[in-house]
Amino acid sequence: METVPKPDSNVPPKKDRLQAKKKKPRRYWEQETTGTAAGASPGPPRKRKRNRELRPQKPKKNDTSGKFRISKKPRELKSPGPQRSLSGAQDPFAGPAPVSVEVVQKYCRIDKSKELPHPRTKTRSRLVAAEAQEEETSVRAARSELLLAEEPGFLEGEDGEDTAKIRQADIVEAVDIASAAKHFDLNLRQFGPYRLNYSRTGRHLTFGGRRGHVAALDWVTKKLMCEINVMEAVRDVRFLHSEALLAVAQNRWLHIYDNQGIELHCVRRCDRVTRLEFLPFHFLLATASETGFLTYLDVSVGKIVAALNARAGRLSVMTQNPYNAVIHLGHSNGTVSLWSPAMKEPLAKILCHRGGVRAVAIDATGTHMATSGLDHQLKLFDMRGMFQPLSTRTLPQGAGHLAFSQRGLLAAGMGDVVNIWAGQGKASPPSLEQPYLTHRLSGHVHGLQFCPYEDVLGVGHSGGITSMLVPGAAEPNFDGLESNPYRSRKQRQEWEVKALLEKVPAELICLDPRALAEVDVISLEQAKKERAERLGYDPDARAPFQPKPKQKGRGSTASLVKRKRKVMDQEHRDKVRQSLEQQPQKQEKAKPTGARPSALDRFMR
């Protein structure tokens, strides 16, 4: 779902003049306010101001006439025509600023292409109102895009130059100091290949080495928050909703640490976890285990919501779809299964590869899924409708790790090389023709993630951690209310409370996140049926046609019957026409399936 980009909270949203001023109804308190002193009224400032304006005009204690004028005066002010300022100069850009239709369209959610059954007048007025409301809100949202001031970075080769040949050193040389400082290498050869994770704001980084080394740091300022060795194999690390909590999948159980490195919990019901995934809006920590279980842990209440058996052996490939919070698991039989805690079985299964699936990644809008398999292929699937691969490439060694950036760049770790592909625009899938960037690391890739809101790709490998600069990877404008990289402790706490209040129930996760905007048709029908049964008749059924009695000798029984028959025939014809329309479809369906009919079939009994 498109969310409206939010600037920093101190930037006031642009005032809109779309609201039409209505006649103000009389309020129950206004009798008193006019009667008492002006300062005592606790109304909103705008109204107070108006009252104050009125005061000199209305010294009399007559409310009714005063009311009359109140209602009248704004109407005069809002009279149409060019507004003149005090100086008499005319506004050259009169009226509201124009908004491009495409941008407005982006925020529209009502599918007008669907035809509705003919509504009654009352219903129609409601529908019209809903559409007007939607248009208004989407226009507002489109207008607020003006506040997205930042532009994404980019990398362009001089004519004919391949961008993939540009090395990190070149980029670092070209960019400013602050950005150059974002490229760094951590040489940690001692504790094995590293997995890493950025916090949702993109400010903090945590990583865990195979041999037990776990650390969290503010990677921009390089300030270390904690560093411990858990003395156990670490399979995966992940920040929970904020950077203050940290989940570590250790050899045996799942542990949760705070940003001081203090162990808060040991979740023994999640054992032998191989991959972790956090669903931020549901406060769910999804764990995939060696034993083949997918477990959802609600971190806000510390309860296990669901433990699902995938029945596909060891689970070592997991990712989440940010669009609908569905978990995607990759299996050794080449399928990717989609899971929600509400269902015991997978929501869907997609056969992607002939060999096992090695990595899965889904882009931020949930439209594209990239998979790589043991057959050395990298495939890009369209997740809307057809679920067909958009493009396929064979890689020399196959990709072991995949990651999508916020703006749709795809990174693939193959051995000790990282390739990054970019698409044409924001919504377009990455074209796998030519890599956008290539980088060789000092060890084999073990973890990949793009940093949110920074043009940085973090790579965990057997030689430590590398932070690569990838221009144009991240969303340049962050939502200050949602995930503010510069937030203070107080702000974070406030956000935490808000986020907890807005927590989405776990059972609402399903393939279509807009399912809530739909009516439960099955129970509706059931209720209707039951009601009809209870009453003995269907109250919603249309009354049979009853011709009106006519005057002037035309109201004979015969003509009455005739008119009735006419209507009946018309209805019958409609029905037949409808069924005829459906029939060819059926025949088309039937033809290819059945055997070629023999001429003798008509004698068969």
Residues within window 465-504 making contact with another protein, judged by CB under 8 A: 482, 502
In 91-120, alpha helices (H): 101-107
Q: What is the DSSP string of 55-72?
A: HHH--S--HHHHHHHHHH
Tokens for 549?
A: 């009695």
DSSP string, 281-321: TTTEEEEEETTSEEEEEETTTTEEEEEEE-SSS---EEEE-
Contact flag: residue 137 with another protein (CB under 8 A): yes
Q: Rounded to an integer, what distance in angstroms lies between the CA atom of residue 298 and that of residue 324? A: 17
Quick check: 282 and 251 in contact, CB under 8 A? no
Query: Is residue 76 a contact residue for another protein (CB under 8 A)?
Result: no
* Binding of residue 242 to another protein (CB under 8 A): no
429 binds another protein, rule: CB under 8 A: no
Which residue number, 86 or 599, has a Cβ lying nearer to another protein? 599
Q: Supply the DSSP symbol for 590.
A: H
Which range, of 14-22, 75-83, 259-267, 563-571, touches another protein by CB under 8 A? 14-22
Shortest Cβ 287–another protein spacing (Å) = 21
Q: Which of 228, 342, 532, 560 binds another protein (CB under 8 A)?
A: 342
Out of 10, 190, 388, 551, which residue is the one contacting another protein (CB under 8 A)? 388
Which residue's entry shows tokens 């009735």? 564
Minimum distance from residue 237 beta carbon to another protein (Å): 18
Q: Which residues contact 455 (CB under 8 A, 6 or more apart)?
A: 153, 179, 182, 469, 470, 471, 472, 473, 474
In the range 182-201, which residues lie near another protein by CB under 8 A? 193
Q: Output b/e per residue, 531-569; b: 16+ Cβ within 10 A.
A: eeeeeeeeeeeeeeeeeeeeeeeeeeeeebeeeeeeeee
C-alpha to C-alpha distance for 569 and 67, rounded to whole angstroms: 61
Q: Which is nearer to another protein, 26 or 78 (CB)?
A: 26
Give the integer Cα–Cα distance in Å for 170 and 182.
Answer: 14
Position among 36, 90, 309, 392 found at the interface with another protein (CB under 8 A):
392
- CA distances in angstroms from 265 to 56, 245, 499, listed in the order given: 68, 11, 22
Out of 75, 165, 189, 222, the only residue in the binding site for another protein (CB under 8 A) is: 165
Residue 68 binding another protein, by CB under 8 A: yes
Instruction: Examine residue 64 and tell whether it contacts another protein (CB under 8 A).
Output: yes
Q: Assess 354 for contact with another protein (CB under 8 A).
A: yes
Q: Is 114 or 534 the residue whose CB approaches another protein more closely?
A: 114
Interface pattern 20-59 for another protein (x via CB under 8 A):
------xxxx--x---------xx----------------
- Residue 599 interacts with another protein (CB under 8 A): yes or no: yes
Can you tell me the distance from the alpha carbon of 335 to that of 557, in angstroms, rounded to the nearest whole number?
Answer: 71
| Strand partners of residue 339 | 327
Q: How far is the CB of 356 from another protein (least distance, A)?
A: 6
How many residues in the shown chain lie near another protein by CB under 8 A?
122
Please list every residue from 443 through 462 that binds another protein, using CB under 8 A.
444, 462
179 binds another protein (CB under 8 A): no
Q: How many CA atoms lie within 13 A of 415 on its CB side?
A: 8
Q: Are 286 and 278 in contact (CB under 8 A)?
A: yes
For the bound state, the minimum distance from the C-beta of residue 322 to another protein, rounded and expressed in Å, comes to 14
Hey, is 5 helix, strand or coil? coil
Asked whether position 508 contacts another protein by CB under 8 A, the answer is yes
Q: If you ran DSSP here, which 8-state letter would residue 505 be given? A: P
CB of 156 to another protein, least distance (A): 18
Min dist CB 505 to another protein, Å, is 7
Q: For the chain, how far is it from start to end, CA to CA, in angstroms? A: 58
C-alpha dihedral, 479 to 483 to 485 to 490, nearest 10°: 110
Q: Which stretch binds another protein (CB under 8 A): 176-184, 245-253, 361-369, 510-518?
A: 510-518
By CB under 8 A, residue 522 contacts another protein: yes
User: Which CB atom, from 42 or from 88, has the smaller least distance to another protein?
Assistant: 42
φ/ψ of 112, rounded to 5, equals -80, -10
For 113-182, the three-class secondary structure string (H helix, E strand, C coil) is CCCCCCCCHHHHHHHHHHHHHHHHHHHHHHHHHHHCCCCCCCCCCCCCCCHHHCCHHHHHHHCCHHHHCC
Q: How far is the CB of 422 from another protein (least distance, A)?
A: 14
Query: Which of 334, 423, 463, 472 touches another protein by CB under 8 A?
Result: 334
Amino acid (one-letter) located at 502: E
Q: Which stretch binds another protein (CB under 8 A): 78-86, 352-360, 451-459, 547-555?
A: 352-360
401's CB contacts (< 8 A; 6+ apart) are 359, 412, 413, 445, 446, 447, 448
**Of the ranges 170-178, 246-254, 320-328, 595-603, which one interacts with another protein (CB under 8 A)?**
595-603
Of the pair 42, 553, the CB lying nearest another protein is at 42
Our CB check for another protein shows the closer of 191 and 219 to be: 191
Minimum CB distance to another protein, residue 459 (Å): 13
Q: Which stretch binds another protein (CB under 8 A): 81-89, 254-262, 328-336, 573-581?
A: 328-336
Q: How far is the CB of 434 from another protein (least distance, A)?
A: 8
Spatial separation of the C-alpha atoms in residues 502 and 52, rounded to whole Å: 40
Binding status of residue 97 toward another protein by CB under 8 A: no
Residue 541 in the binding site for another protein (CB under 8 A): no
Residue 523 interacting with another protein (CB under 8 A): yes
Residue from the set 158, 159, 176, 518 that interacts with another protein by CB under 8 A: 518
Shortest distance, position 180 Cβ to another protein, whole Å: 22
Instruction: Identify the residue among 62, 105, 559, 582 touching another protein (CB under 8 A).
Output: 62
Query: According to the binding rule CB under 8 A, does residue 604 interact with another protein?
Result: yes
594 binds another protein per the rule CB under 8 A? yes
**Window 100 to 129, contacts with another protein (CB under 8 A):** 109-111, 114, 116-117, 119-120, 122-123, 126-127, 129
593 binds another protein (CB under 8 A): yes
Side-chain-side CA neighbours of 477 within 13 Å: the count stands at: 14
Residue 545, interface with another protein (CB under 8 A)?
no
DSSP class of residue 365?
Answer: T
367 part of the interface to another protein, by CB under 8 A: no
Are 166 and 437 within 8 A, CB to CB? yes
